[in-house]
Amino acid sequence: MTAPLALPRTRPMDWARDERVRRALLEAVTVGLVSALAIYIAARAQAAGGVDLGFMQDRAGFGVGDQFLTQASGRDSRWMAYLAGLVNTLRVSVFGIALSLGIGLVVGIARLSSNWLAAKLAFGYVEFVRNMPLPVFVVFCYTAVVLRLPRIEDSAGFFGLAYFSNRSVAFPWLEFGDGAALWGAILGVGILAAWVTHRILRTREETTGRPSYPVRTALGIVAVAGVGGFLLAGSPAALDTPEVGRFQYQGGVQLSPEFFGLLLALALFNAAFVAEIVRGAIASVPRGEREAAAALGLSGWQQLRLVVLPQALRVMLPPLATQAQNLAKMSSIAIVVAFPDLMNVGGTIINNSGEAIPVFILMTVTYFVLNLAIALLFIGPQWRFSWTRGRRA
């Protein structure tokens, strides 16, 4: 006669060992602390006279001189000046993140290269930049690089398309005419069709194991939609190339030296940290994965693109999100080169209005929303990788 099965005993503290319970408790404590801090700040602001943003509708009294949707005159309201500073911050953050990710990826891969010269140059760049204070590096890039460019009459050209001088940097730009809306609609439909086709072909490739070339097919659909829509709409866009004038460039899009210097400094500075993130993520991939790929006859580039980087991307995404948020916050260093970013414009509003607490609260909320948006952009790929990994398991 067999003995009856013994039921597992439940210990009083088993709930404390449950990862889900610990995670829920940690999130609850974090939300409670943040809420308490927010209530405290609101109470202090109310005690100091309340948070009334009515003064933001008054005349600014100062101009925000830049370009690309960031111009505001002294006759505009403070809200318009604040919006111009916010757009400037967004410009620096978006382009800075894109450039730093691209440069950091190349430098990080070069750190692990078998080429001795490439590895040592990448190592020297990373160590030099990471051990330099950011304000010093920004001033160095602005004064020793941007301001040392030739004068506008002696502009350095790039095949007649772009020009560089200490007055500004000019690039070609598209001028849209009649039919641009139709072209944009056709291109949007093409992008949607490319996305759907990519998903279908990717699923079939994972199911059958046969190559379906989803990326090539999707890019082909986008190219056909772009070129076909352009011709169907009657060529609604033309390339506006800049020309060298006496005191400034004519045509194209122009970047002020302050913006160009700040963007260059932030991109190069954060690229050094991104390179270390990429190097560490690639090094975390087991060596057997590359050896197995080599045994299948894959080249070094194919091993990196198809085997190593997809696995390393799961490791590098969280620190890359943090570094992108750091770049957005580092953009407040723009005051050292007199670039009118959000922090600079906000400080000017405080000086001519005397309302320090409301403006600081407004800037805090703005930077919080900006960093939250950046985090959500990086969390999306993490969810996709986690879902794909769980489905394959």
φ, ψ dihedrals at 249, nearest 5°: -80, 150
pLDDT digit of tens for each residue in the chain (393 aa)?
455 555 555 555 566 677 778 888 888 998 899 888 878 877 776 776 666 777 888 887 787 876 656 677 778 888 888 888 898 899 999 999 999 999 999 999 898 888 889 999 999 999 999 999 999 999 999 998 888 888 887 777 777 778 888 888 888 887 887 888 888 888 999 999 999 998 898 888 878 878 878 888 999 999 998 888 888 888 787 777 888 777 777 777 788 888 889 999 999 999 999 999 999 888 888 888 877 888 888 777 777 778 888 888 888 888 898 999 999 999 989 888 888 888 988 888 888 888 888 888 889 889 989 998 988 888 765 555 554 544 444
CB atoms within 10 A of CB 57: 10
Cβ 285 vs Cβ 308: under 8 Å = yes
The whole-number pLDDT of residue 193 equals 92
HSE at residue 38, side-chain half, CA atoms within 13 A, is 9
Structure tokens, 139: 């001033």
Give the pLDDT score at 367. 92
pLDDT for position 275: 94
pLDDT at 387: 47
The encoded tokens of residue 59 equal: 């005349």
DSSP string, 189-242: HHHHHHHHHHHHHHHHHHHH-S---HHHHHHHHHHHHHHHHHHHTT--EEEE--
Q: Indicate left, alpha or beta for 242 from its phi (over 0: left) and psi (-120 to 50: alpha).
A: beta
pLDDT value of residue 273 = 94
d(C-alpha 159, C-alpha 243), whole Å: 12
State residue 79's pLDDT score: 86
Is 0.75 topped by the overall pTM?
yes
Q: What does the pLDDT read at residue 66?
A: 61
What pLDDT was estimated at residue 133?
92
Which pLDDT belongs to residue 117?
Answer: 92
Pair of tokens at residue 363: 């800037």
pLDDT of residue 16: 66
